Structure formats: C-alpha cells, structure tokens
C-alpha cells in the first residue's frame, strides 16, 4: 500500500503538525518539540520521544541535499498510533549526524519527524523525502512559506504527488 493511502487516501501532512520558525538549540530540542506536537495530536505513544532519541543516537538521520541538510528522525511502529509527519522548519540550523556517516555533522534546516505504523513504510518515506530534496526548488519554497497550509500543499505536491 502506498504510504499516502495509509490514512484512507488522506495526506500525512497536516497543518497542525507543522512548525514554522522552530527554535531549538540542538537536535534533542527539535525532536522534542515535534514529538510533543505528535503526542498532543494523539498520533504517538508516551514512549515515542525516548524511542526516537535512542534510535537517532544509534542510527543518525541527517541527509545532505543540494541546498541544505534535512533530518528524518523516526522510530519503530510500536511507539506510533497513527501515521503522521511533524515538520519543523528551523529558524536556525540544528546539527544532526549524517545518515550512514556517524561523526559527520550536518547543519539541518528542516526536520521531518515520522510516525509510521507499518514497518515497510519507513524505507518508502525515507526514500520519498530524500528524493524530493535532490533539487533545491522544494527546499527554497518551503523556507519561504508563509503558512503551515502552504507547507503542506508544497509537501503534498512534491512528495505525495
């Protein structure tokens, strides 16, 4: 099943799960803020935040892209209740370690915190997000977004489209 269809055809991108100009001193604060949004929305279990932080320490999720780096932290499905993506567009960059290159630090501008309930969908969403940012247009448009609705429309067209 297409991950976008996992919620009966609706988008995983929800304006209430987008934070423009997210302020965080480090990746832990950025992940915590976004995990709090998912928790408040009833998308993840109480165990989610610590599970994401533990997984991020072991398997970093920073990805270099042509314009800037993104990060796609996530964890195992047992910590998730419903599929969703919390999006943080950072006011300032936050350091994440690079996926596949532990010890290499990237300055991340956008964080996508995944709540995926089917194990097979993790790889699909990582691939879709990484592919969408291989050209700088989407990143440029997201950074210039004026509303959470605009962010969702751009992501739906660029990733789910």
Query: What are the start-end ranges of the H helices in the chain?
Result: 27-40, 48-58, 119-132, 136-143, 148-155
How many Cα atoms sit within 13 Å of 90 on the Cβ side? 23
Domains of the chain: 15-160 (3.40.930.10)
Q: Would the pTM count as exceeding 0.85?
A: yes
pLDDT per residue rounded down to tens, the chain (161 residues): 344 433 334 578 999 999 999 999 999 999 999 999 999 999 999 999 999 999 999 999 999 988 889 999 999 999 999 999 999 999 999 999 999 998 899 999 999 999 999 988 888 888 888 888 888 889 889 999 999 999 999 999 888 76
């Amino acid at each position: 099943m297409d991950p976008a269809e996992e919620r009966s055809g609706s988008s995983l991108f929800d304006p209430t799960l987008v934070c423009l100009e997210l302020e965080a001193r480090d990746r832990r604060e950025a992940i915590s803020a976004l995990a709090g949004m998912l928790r408040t929305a009833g998308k993840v279990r109480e165990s989610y935040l610590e599970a994401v932080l533990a997984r991020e320490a072991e398997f970093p999720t920073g990805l270099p892209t042509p314009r800037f780096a993104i990060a796609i932290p996530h964890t195992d499905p047992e910590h998730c209740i419903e599929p969703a993506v919390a999006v943080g567009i950072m006011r300032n960059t936050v350091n994440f370690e690079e996926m596949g290159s532990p010890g290499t630090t990237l300055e991340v501008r956008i964080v996508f915190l995944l709540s995926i309930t089917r194990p097979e969908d993790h790889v699909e969403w990582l691939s879709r997000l990484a592919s969408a940012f291989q050209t700088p247009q989407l990143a440029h448009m997201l950074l210039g977004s004026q509303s959470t609705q605009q962010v969702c429309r751009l992501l739906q067209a660029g990733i789910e489209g």
